[in-house]
């Protein structure tokens, strides 16, 4: 199968890159493209300008031209920019450069030019550009866009200069209140975004920089030594100090709030502090979390604090409090499959009426399916088997041909084949998602995914197929490359191959040369230190970390480590997945102390403090269930795979040597 895929890939790339009579000249142009990318990364504008003529006529010429102009865009003239936009009209590179130019024009606050450019902007996916648009509307049109500003500025990624400018202009125009700005400071403090907190406070209390640094630098001292009351600014800074302190010691922060500040803060301030203390206590698995949340009415909490309120209640199996927290969420938050599922589960408890039970089943039917962790659990809660959906109608020759002839997809595959993966992925995503309003329709997405699959570009195959709305093609969404190696190695060491596939799909999307920001490499994203340790354990002599790029070696190392982790956690797939992602010591702690209650693993997974690991565990187990059905041809149970998570047993041996 692999040999056939390689042949197919060679044929496609040959067709994409080779025009009649090109030959060695094309190879030289490929080298020029790679040199230009390296020069772009180094900011070598002179080298880029010198090389650009040699890239003319190449399929990836738009990338070469983009790099050359983008590298010197701050000094470029309006005419140069317009010439590029005209020459490469309709391409990703035109809109990418327009995006970059909008950021520069917005930074200059040249609103007439910004308005003229923004109308043709197709991607509309850059939050900074959106914030400059909001700033323009406040400055040029005097339009009140406060709600849109808050939605962007309050988001975790809303700490950039553009969103700050939009907020400042709306604040100066009276569209944002001081309370709105202080709320941003609280959010930034809770997220450890100190600079963003300082910028927000500078808008409403410009003379309080020293006090703010005191509050954030030594929050315990500020809370305990600063005299309660006095100026309103001091009360707001106390809220920030308590927020910061709660991250390290929620119990101490709660005590200080009760004893010193509760009577001096207004209701909204107290509600915020209790919410963040409850959140931090939940993340530390403290039994006090629900008691802290009880100090504030649920409707006064924001959605994030309510989510942690619900998780605290789940961990203590207080179904009444689970229901209370979810009922208080906004409509958008509550309709997330996570909270739809747990809301239904809360109503399915014995104390509820038949009418409530029927309501719960209605909610479960609304999300049930095979498209994710909670849809699968909902399917099982309804007593329905997890079975593959009916495959979509086969693609026609014409649909496949249109995908092959799509210029953006052609360039994307050519870039990936040349080693320009980041550039290829960006152009692929643009072509499928953003080139036209709403992106490709389902049949077009299936055809594009098929093209990626046939080209063995598995990450684009999976991600593109996952975007379909009315149909599901499991063969595209859950491919099985390296099948012989995965099945043989897994069975040799006693691992479920579906579990290995579920993990690889989440780790790398089957990109053999994938490398994370912290150095994890290859299909199974193994860290070099872990790889060396595992190689010794499994008797792989002469191993070098450069071999992690070899798929067979990577699978051998990754499965070897996974088996050791799984054995250490007595065969628990959720615990082993968490350990693979976050290291073994953390899930050991997350199990709870000796004497803590045994939890169904779905509850345990939802209450993992790290968002990345929480998402990872759920996706790996959902992936595993689908792959098991595909490999075995039999109905599978996600709930059975999850099992239960018991607390740590002081008498059970633990392999503390595991990296």
What is the set of active-site residues? 507
Find where tokens 């479960």 sit.
364
State how far Cα 127 lies from the chain centre. 16
**What number of residues does the chain have?**
659
593 secondary structure, DSSP code: S
Using alpha carbons, list the distances in angstroms from residue 600 to 458, 636, 643: 33, 18, 6
State how far Cα 554 lies from the chain centre. 25
**In terms of C-beta density within 10 A (0-12 exposed, 13-18 middle, 19 or more buried), how is residue 630 classed?**
middle
Closest CA to 91 of 387, 434, 350, 385: 434
**Contact of 450 with 462, CB cutoff 8 Å:** no
Helix (H, G, I), strand (E, B) or coil at 448: helix
Tokens for 430? Answer: 């643009």
Distance between CA atoms of 448 and 410, rounded to whole angstroms?
A: 10
Distance between CA atoms of 70 and 183, rounded to whole angstroms?
A: 37
Continuous segment of H or E residues that includes residue 600: strand 599-600
Find where tokens 């317009």 sit.
82
Enumerate residues 6+ apart whose C-beta is below 8 A from 354: none
Torsion 348-351-355-359 (CA) sign: negative
Find where tokens 């038949």 sit.
354
Distance between CA atoms of 318 and 536, rounded to whole angstroms?
A: 46
């Amino acid at each position: 199968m692999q040999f056939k895929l390689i042949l197919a890939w060679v044929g496609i790339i040959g067709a994409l890159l080779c025009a009649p009579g090109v030959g060695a000249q094309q190879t030289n142009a490929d080298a020029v493209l790679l040199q230009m990318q390296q020069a772009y990364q180094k900011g070598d504008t002179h080298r880029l300008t010198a090389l650009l003529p040699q890239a003319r006529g190449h399929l990836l010429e738009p990338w070469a031209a983009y790099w050359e102009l983008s590298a010197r865009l701050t000094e470029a003239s309006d005419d140069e920019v317009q010439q590029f936009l005209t020459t490469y009209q309709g391409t990703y590179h035109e809109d990418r450069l327009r995006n970059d130019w909008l950021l520069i024009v917005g930074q200059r606050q040249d609103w007439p030019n910004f308005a003229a450019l923004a109308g043709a902007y197709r991607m509309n996916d850059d939050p900074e550009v959106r914030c400059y648009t909001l700033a323009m509307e406040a400055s040029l049109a005097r339009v009140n866009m406060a709600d849109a500003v808050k939605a962007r500025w309050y988001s975790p990624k809303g700490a950039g200069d553009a969103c700050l400018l939009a907020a400042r202009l709306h604040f100066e125009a009276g569209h944002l209140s001081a309370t709105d700005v202080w709320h941003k400071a609280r959010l930034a403090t809770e997220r450890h975004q100190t600079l963003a907190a300082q910028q927000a406070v500078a808008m409403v209390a410009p003379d309080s920089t020293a006090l703010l640094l005191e509050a954030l630098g030594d929050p315990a001292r500020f809370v305990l030594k600063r005299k309660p009351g006095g100026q309103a600014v001091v009360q707001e800074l106390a809220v920030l100090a308590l927020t910061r302190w709660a991250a390290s010691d929620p119990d101490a922060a709660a005590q200080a709030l009760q004893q010193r500040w509760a009577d001096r803060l207004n209701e909204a301030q107290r509600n915020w502090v209790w919410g963040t203390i409850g959140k931090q206590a939940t993340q530390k698995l403290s039994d006090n979390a629900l008691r802290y949340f009880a100090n504030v009415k649920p409707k006064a909490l924001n959605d994030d604090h309510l989510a942690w309120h619900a998780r605290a209640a789940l961990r203590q199996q207080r179904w009444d409090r689970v229901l209370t927290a979810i009922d208080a969420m906004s409509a958008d938050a509550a309709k997330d499959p996570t909270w739809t599922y747990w809301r239904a589960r809360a109503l399915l408890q014995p104390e509820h009426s038949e009418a409530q039970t029927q309501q719960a089943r209605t909610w479960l039917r609304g999300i049930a399916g095979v498209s994710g962790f909670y849809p699968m659990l909902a399917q099982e809660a309804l007593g329905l088997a997890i079975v593959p959906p009916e495959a979509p109608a086969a693609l026609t020759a014409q649909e496949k041909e249109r995908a092959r002839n799509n210029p953006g997809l052609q360039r994307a595959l050519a870039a990936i084949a040349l080693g320009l993966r980041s550039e290829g992925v960006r152009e692929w995503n643009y072509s499928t998602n953003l080139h036209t309003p709403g992106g490709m329709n389902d049949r077009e997405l299936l055809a594009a995914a098929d093209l990626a699959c046939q080209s063995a570009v598995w990450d684009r195959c999976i991600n593109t197929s996952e975007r379909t709305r009315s149909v599901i093609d499991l063969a595209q969404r859950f491919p099985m490359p390296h099948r012989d190696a995965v099945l043989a190695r897994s069975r040799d060491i006693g691992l479920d191959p579906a579990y290995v596939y579920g993990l690889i799909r989440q780790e790398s999307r089957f990109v053999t040369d994938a490398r994370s920001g912290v150095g994890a490499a290859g299909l199974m994203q193994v860290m070099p230190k872990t790889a060396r340790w595992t190689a010794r354990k499994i008797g792989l002599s002469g191993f070098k970390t450069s071999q992690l790029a070899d798929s067979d070696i990577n699978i051998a190392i990754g499965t070897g480590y996974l088996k050791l982790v799984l054995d250490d956690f007595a065969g628990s797939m959720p615990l082993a997945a968490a350990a693979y992602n976050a290291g073994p010591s953390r899930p050991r702690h997350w199990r709870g102390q000796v004497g803590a209650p045994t939890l169904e693993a779905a509850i345990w997974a939802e209450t993992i403090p790290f968002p990345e690991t929480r998402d990872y565990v759920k996706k790996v187990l959902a992936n595993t269930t689908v792959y098991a059905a595909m490999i075995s041809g039999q109905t599978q149970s996600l709930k059975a795979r999850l099992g239960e998570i018991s607390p740590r047993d002081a008498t059970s041996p633990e392999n503390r040597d595991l990296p």
